[in-house]
């Protein structure tokens, strides 16, 4: 299975979000290589627009994804949103541990794990984001940092839960900077993550690992052809429907050309 998610972050108005969702769904129908059973697609709008975007996507094969959630199912947590709330508006997946949450909201590995468990408990599927800072890569610590994040999120989970988990590797130095990990860099880290997953549990070895970090139409297909890359977590390029559809096209064509890696 391949997966492409567009993370819209904190952009746009309700009208913008509804229009973008409709344009994405219509654009995907015109992509001959796209098989929704082989390459799943989701969009993650801001919280206030989830229900409206979900309505715009009704009857399509585009999944509704949330950008985050609180670790508790309910309570006196002003301004937060719980996983059961997300489930009630038909969200399918939830991002946890995005680098911007780790950096700006100071979320640590323990909190990411608690959120992952909350997502699973609510019947939703978590997308666990991991990745290193530029200083950590330059110091040669990138693989150790990512291994720590992966193990903290996944070790000790019920093996049955691994079938619902996706990992997204997003080198922090490549998010919103225009810089992208080379296919060699992405491939090396994805192989490292695959080894960590296999060491955690046999069931975890089948978890798809996405790449995120300045993914755009010009590099999506090449990244998707890289062994171990099972799709993309797309930021800025997902805010323009034609751009996002082209990324999905690139991933779909790579999947069709090499179905063994899907």
- Residues with catalytic function: 98, 170
What tokens does 31 get?
């992509």
CA-to-CA distance for 174 and 255, rounded, in angstroms? 24
CB–CB of 83/114 below 8 Å?
no
Beta strands in the chain, from DSSP E residues, in sequence order = 2-7, 39-44, 62-66, 93-96, 125-130, 166-169, 209-212, 231-234
Number of other residues whose CB lies within 10 A of the CB of residue 133: 17
Residue owning tokens 């010009």:
218
Rg (CA), the chain: 17
């Amino acid at each position: 299975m391949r997966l492409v998610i567009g993370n819209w972050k904190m952009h746009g108005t309700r009208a913008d979000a509804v229009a973008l969702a409709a344009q994405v769904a219509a654009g995907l129908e015109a992509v001959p290589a796209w098989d929704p059973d082989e390459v799943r697609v989701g969009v993650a709008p801001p919280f206030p627009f989830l229900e409206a975007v979900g309505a715009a996507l009704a009857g399509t094969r585009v999944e509704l994804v949330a950008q985050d959630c609180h670790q508790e199912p309910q309570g006196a947590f002003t301004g937060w949103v719980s996983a059961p709330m997300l489930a009630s508006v038909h969200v399918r997946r939830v991002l946890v541990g995005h680098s911007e949450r780790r950096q700006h909201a100071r979320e640590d590995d323990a909190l990411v794990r608690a959120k992952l468990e909350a997502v699973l408990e609510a019947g939703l599927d978590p997308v666990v984001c991991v990745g290193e800072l530029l200083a950590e890569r330059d110091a040669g610590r990138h693989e150790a940092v990512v291994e720590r994040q992966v193990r903290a999120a996944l070790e000790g989970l019920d093996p049955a839960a691994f079938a619902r988990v996706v990992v997204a590797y997003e080198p922090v130095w490549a998010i919103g900077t225009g810089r992208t990990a080379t296919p060699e860099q992405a491939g090396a880290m994805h192989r490292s993550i695959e080894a960590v997953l296999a060491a955690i549990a046999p069931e975890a070895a089948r978890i798809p690992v996405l790449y995120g970090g300045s993914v755009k139409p010009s590099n999506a297909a090449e990244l998707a052809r890289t062994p171990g890359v099972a799709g993309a977590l797309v930021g800025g390029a997902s805010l323009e429907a034609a751009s996002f559809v082209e990324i999905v096209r690139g991933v779909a064509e790579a999947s069709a050309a090499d179905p063994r890696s899907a």
